[in-house]
Structures are given as C-alpha cells and as structure tokens.
Amino acid sequence: MSAEFSTDAEDIVSFHQARGIFPSTIAIAVVLVLFTVPDILATDAPLWVHCAELVSVMLIAGWMALRLSRVGVRVYPGGIVIVNPVRTHSAAWDNIARFTWGRYGLTPKVGAELENGTVLPIYGLLTGGAGPGDSSSTVAMDELNEMLEKYKGEPSPASSH
C-alpha cells in the first residue's frame, strides 16, 4: 500500500517494535531449515532437485527472517506505516481515530483504529503479554496516542512517492 505522505528515511520520527523479535525470528528460520533439510536429503531424487528444494527452503526462511525482523510501526510527520508479517499498511494522521487494545485475530494486540471504523492491527507491538497490562506495549500505545494528538490536524507534508 502506498503512503499518501513522505516516508523518506530522514523523515522518520520514531519506530516502535517489540523487544526480542529479531532473535526469535532468526531462531524460527534456523529451525525451519534444520527440520526440512533431512527430509529433503532423504529422497532418491537427482542432485538438482535436492539443490532446488534446499534453495527454496532457504529463500523462504530468509524471507521470513527479513520480513519478521521489520514488523512494527514507523512514525512520520504525515502518518504511520505499519509493517505486519505479511502486509504493510499506511495511514495519515487525519485518518486515525486512536490507538487501542483489541483482539485482532487470535491474540490481543495494539491496533490503529481509523475514522471509518476499520482497525489496522500492529503485530510488531505484540510482546507476549496478556493485553493492556503488558507494560512495553502499553507504553508504545500511549506514545502513539500522544503523537496522534500532536500531529492530527496539522497539514500533511506532500508525498514524494
């Protein structure tokens, strides 16, 4: 999804992400490779098939590690960019009503509630806590709500994309 505001790296105000996401992401990728490789090598397929399967598994694991290491929310003067495991969403400040806790999917997490009632879940702030009592996610949610108050209603910088 293309942002309707500038998302240049030098414009970023802050970045929120749960602690420990990168190490656990690498661990998931390594486990995927370790559990898949013996099954691939156990077949009597030609060497090129083994190589293609190994490359495929490593590409998938690498994509997972890269994508999951980037989950979170990036804050810009014009709005936010939410990077979730599969999709990326952007929303201008004037389109956001508030940041709140909710059950979006299987687990409770912080979400950006838009003016039209749509909620964009922010997976990168999920830290394994049970909900609103999880202090790091609550602090991030409070900071995002403060930034919403600060930037909402201000003229949005023109998009450069």
pLDDT tens for 19-37 read 556 676 677 777 877 887 7
Q: Is residue 157 part of a domain?
A: no
Query: Is 98 in the same domain as 113?
Result: yes
What's the pLDDT at 15? 72
Other Cβ atoms less than 10 A from the Cβ of 34: the count is 10
- Cα gap 110→141, rounded to integer Å: 7
The amino acid present at 135, given as its one-letter code, is S
Query: Is 80 in the same domain as 137?
Result: yes
Q: Is residue 108 part of a domain?
A: yes
Query: Is 98 in the same domain as 43?
Result: no
- Cα gap 14→16, rounded to integer Å: 7
Q: Is residue 1 part of a domain?
A: no
Which of the two residues, 94 and 44, has the higher pLDDT score? 94
Query: Is 96 in the same domain as 146?
Result: yes
- Cα gap 16→136, rounded to integer Å: 10
The pLDDT tens digits for 65-79 are 777 777 888 888 889
- The top-scoring range by mean pLDDT among 15-19, 43-47, 141-145 is 141-145
Query: Sheet holding 108-114: strands in order across?
Result: 96-103, 108-114, 119-121
pLDDT surpasses 60 at 128: no
- Residue that has been written with the tokens 């009597």 in this structure: 44
The amino acid present at 82, given as its one-letter code, is I
Q: Is residue 81 part of a domain?
A: yes
Q: Is residue 4 part of a domain?
A: no
Mean pLDDT confidence for 105-125: 84
- For 55, phi and psi rounded to 5 degrees? -65, -40
DSSP characters over 101-130 = EEE-SSSEEEEEEETTS-EEE-GGG--S--
Angle (CA) 6 12 16, round 5°? 125
Domain extent, residue 115, equals: 9-17+71-151
Q: Is residue 89 part of a domain?
A: yes
Which of the two residues, 102 and 8, has the higher pLDDT score? 102
For position 105, which CATH number holds?
2.30.29
Q: Is residue 144 part of a domain?
A: yes
pLDDT surpasses 90 at 91: yes
Lowest-confidence pick of 5-9, 82-86, 91-95: 5-9
Domain count, the chain: 2
**Region for residue 50 given its phi and psi (left: phi exceeds 0; alpha: psi -120 to 50; beta: otherwise):** alpha
Q: Is residue 120 part of a domain?
A: yes
What's the pLDDT at 130? 47
Query: Is 79 in the same domain as 140?
Result: yes
Query: Is 76 in the same domain as 57?
Result: no
